[in-house]
Amino acid sequence: MENLAVLDSAPVSAPAQRGATVDEATMAQLQREHGQALLGLLLGLTHGDRQRAEDLVQETLLRAWRHPEALHTDHASMRPWLFTVARRLCIDARRARLARPVEEGGRPLENLATADDEIERSVVVQDVRDALRQLSPEHRAVLLEVYFRGRSVAEASERLGVPEGTVKSRTYYALRSMRRNLRGYGADC
C-alpha cells in the first residue's frame, strides 16, 4: 500500500478545473477507509497479482480524485462506487492485455530461437578454415578424415596409412591447436 501514498501528494489542479475540489486530507481518509478493501477485491480479480492489484487501487483512487462530484453525494459510503470503478478498471486492463501480443518474460533473450544468420555463419567458416591452414599437413589430414568426412579412427588409420594410435594422438594435438587458434568461440572450440 506504500504505492498509494502517491495520491497524497497529487496536485489538486484537475478537480479544481471542474469547480469541485478534493483536498489531500479527504483523499487520505478515502484511502485509509477503503484502500484495504479495494486491494482485497482487486487481488481476487487479478488472481493474486499484487502489483497489478496495487496499480488498479491507485488508478481507482485517482479516478475518485478526478471526479470529486462522486465524493460529494449524500450516499452513506463511497465503497460501492469505488468497487464499481475498480471492477471496471480491472476489466478494461484485462481487455487491453488480451489485445496485445503475449510478452516474453521468463527466458533470457540469448536462449530465444533466432533466424540463421548467413553472415555470422560465413565468418565462422572462414575462421575455421584459417585455423585449419595453421595446422601441419599431418594434423590437418587427420581432422579432415575424422571430423569433416566422419570416418572412424580405424578408417582414418587405413586411409592415411598410419597406426590407429598415431591417428588418436594427432587428433588430440590438432584439436588442442584448433582451440588455441579459435580462442573466443567459447569453451567448446
> Domain for residue 95, yes or no?
yes
**Long-range contacts for 40-45 (Cβ within 8 Å, ≥24 apart)?**
41/83, 41/86, 41/87, 42/86, 42/90, 45/86, 45/87, 45/90
SS3 of residue 84 by DSSP: helix
16 with 87, same domain: the answer is: yes
- The pLDDT tens digits of the residues spanning 9-44 come to 444 444 444 456 778 888 888 889 999 999 999 999
| Of 183 and 102, the one with more pLDDT | 183
pLDDT at residue 9 in the model: 43
18 domain-assigned = yes
Inside any domain, residue 188: no
Banded model confidence at residue 3, pLDDT cuts 50, 70, 90? very low
Q: What is the residue whose three cell numbers read 481507482?
A: 60
Q: What is the pLDDT of residue 71?
A: 76
Same domain, 42 and 82: yes
CATH number for the domain that contains residue 76: 1.10.1740
Other CB atoms within a 10 A radius of the CB of residue 119 amount to: 7
CA distances from 148 to 95, 142, 144, 155, 184 (A): 55, 9, 5, 13, 22
Q: From CA 56, how far away is CA 87, in angstroms rounded? A: 9
- Whether residue 54 lies inside any domain: the answer is yes
On whether the pTM is more than 0.75, the answer is: no
Whether 6 and 95 share a structural domain: yes
Q: Do 158 and 94 belong to one domain?
A: no
| pLDDT at residue 115 in the model | 56
Q: Which 3 state secondary structure label does DSSP give 44?
A: helix
| Host domain of residue 54 | 2-99
Q: Do 31 and 81 belong to one domain? A: yes
Say which CATH number the domain at 172 has.
1.10.10.10
Give residue 8's Cα distance to chain centre: 33
Which one of 41, 69, 99 terminates a domain?
Answer: 99
Residues 59 and 124 grouped into a single domain: no
Alpha carbons 128 and 135: distance in angstroms, whole number: 11
- Domain-located, residue 186: no
Q: What is the pLDDT of residue 10?
A: 43
Last-in-domain residue among 32, 65, 99: 99
Total domains in the chain come to 2
Residue 130 lies in a domain: yes
Q: Which of the four pLDDT bands, split at 50, 70 and 90, describes residue 84? A: very high
The confidence score (pLDDT) of residue 15 equals 45
Q: Which three cell numbers stand for residue 68?
A: 470529486
Give the domain-ending residue among 71, 99, 127.
99
Which parts of 18-112 fold into alpha helices (H)?
A: 24-45, 50-66, 68-71, 79-99
Query: Residue 67's pLDDT band (boundaries 50, 70, 90)?
Result: confident
Retrieve residue 18's grid coordinates: 471542474
For 109-163, the pLDDT digits (tens) are 565 555 566 788 888 888 888 888 899 999 999 999 998 899 999 999 999 999 9
45: in domain: yes
Asked if the structure places residue 187 within a domain, the reply is: no
3-state secondary structure 111-142: HCCCCCCHHHHHHHHHHHHHHHHCCCHHHHHH
